[in-house]
């Protein structure tokens, strides 16, 4: 029987980076005891991932910038409550980002997750983005943003951020079983919506 080596390109970037995780743990501990410099290092590390994640969900640069700042300010205030044993720090940031985005849409009195400015895509794009924003990618994103917030979060963390079931469970505060059930429903719904968006043939 062949060995099954699961390669995960996720939060931990493989098991070889245990030293990096320990290092991060120390930085988080320093930040939790009030060390602003340590927090700034966490910021430098995770700014890109969080910004891109938020940009994907709000679709324009200025909101993405505002909300990204909010995420890090909230993380700074709440870092005493982050539990090292439960999930990677980045997963915790994704949780805060999700809450920030959800309340952003709530504030904008937008129950629809379709309100992002598609035109802005083409105005603010950087060169690497040009290659990426095909029509299909925009349609997939529209489909994802039509899901209920919780389903959106599962789909984004699993298939866009590439987290494992366990990591998503930690980030959402659910059991892995619950995450698998949510994922199942979310993918049923996503399949249906992708059919409507014309990305896939209707199932």
Partner 1 sequence: MARVSPELLARCLDDLRSGQTTLDAVLASHPEVQQELRALLEAPLAIPRGPIAPAPSAAFRQRARAELLTRLAETPQPWWQRFFDSLAVPTPRFGLALPLLLAVLLGLGGFGGAAYAAQDTLPGDLLYPLKTGLETAQVAMIFSESGRVEEYLAQAAERLEELTLAQERGRVNALTGLSRAYANAALGFEGDDFVNLVLTFQTGEPLPALLERLKTVERASGREPGAPRWASRTLDLDLLMYGDLVGQFAGVTLPRPDIVERSYVLGPLAELAPGRRHPALGETFAALWQRFDRDSHPLVEVSLEGED
Using CB under 8 A as the binding rule, the residues of this chain from 87 to 106 that contact partner 1 are 87, 92, 95-96, 99, 103
Asked if residue 21 binds partner 1 (CB under 8 A), the reply is: no
**Cβ proximity to partner 1, 109 vs 127, nearer residue:** 127
104-123 residues in contact with partner 1 (CB under 8 A) are: none
The interface with partner 1 within residues 139-178 (CB under 8 A) comprises 140, 144, 155, 158-160, 162, 165, 170-173, 177
Is position 83 an interface residue for partner 1 (rule: CB under 8 A)?
yes
| 47-86 burial: b if 16+ Cβ within 10 Å, else e | eeebbebbbbbbbbbebbeebbebbbeebbeebeebeeee
Among 21, 45, 104, 129, binds partner 1 (CB under 8 A): 129
Using CB under 8 A as the binding rule, whether residue 13 contacts partner 1 is answered as no
Which of 4, 21, 2, 24 shows the shortest CA–CA distance to 12? 21
Should residue 7 be labelled a site residue for partner 1 when binding is judged by CB under 8 A? Answer: yes
Q: How many residues bind partner 1 (CB under 8 A)?
A: 83
Measured distance between the N- and C-terminal CA atoms of the chain, rounded to whole angstroms:
35
CA-to-CA distance for 153 and 173, rounded, in angstroms? 12
CB 131 → partner 1: shortest distance, Å?
Answer: 8
3-class SS of residue 11: coil
């Amino acid at each position: 029987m062949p060995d099954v080596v699961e390669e995960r390109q996720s939060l931990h970037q493989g098991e070889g980076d245990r030293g990096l995780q320990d290092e991060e743990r120390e930085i988080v501990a320093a930040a939790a005891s009030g060390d602003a410099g340590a927090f700034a290092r966490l910021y430098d590390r995770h700014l890109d991932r969080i910004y891109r994640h938020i940009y994907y969900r709000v679709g324009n640069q200025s909101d993405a910038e505002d909300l990204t700042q909010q995420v890090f300010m909230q993380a700074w205030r709440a870092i005493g409550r982050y539990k090292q044993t439960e999930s990677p720090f980045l997963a915790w940031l994704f949780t805060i980002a999700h809450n920030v985005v959800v309340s952003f849409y709530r504030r904008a009195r937008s129950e629809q997750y379709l309100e992002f400015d598609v035109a802005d895509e083409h105005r603010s794009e950087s060169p690497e983005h040009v290659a990426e924003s095909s029509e299909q990618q925009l349609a997939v994103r529209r489909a994802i943003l039509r899901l209920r917030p919780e389903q959106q979060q599962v789909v984004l963390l699993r298939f866009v951020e590439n987290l494992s079931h366990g990591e998503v469970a930690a980030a959402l505060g659910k059991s892995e079983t619950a995450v698998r059930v949510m994922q199942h429903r979310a993918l049923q719904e996503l399949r249906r919506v992708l059919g409507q968006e014309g990305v896939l043939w209707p199932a």
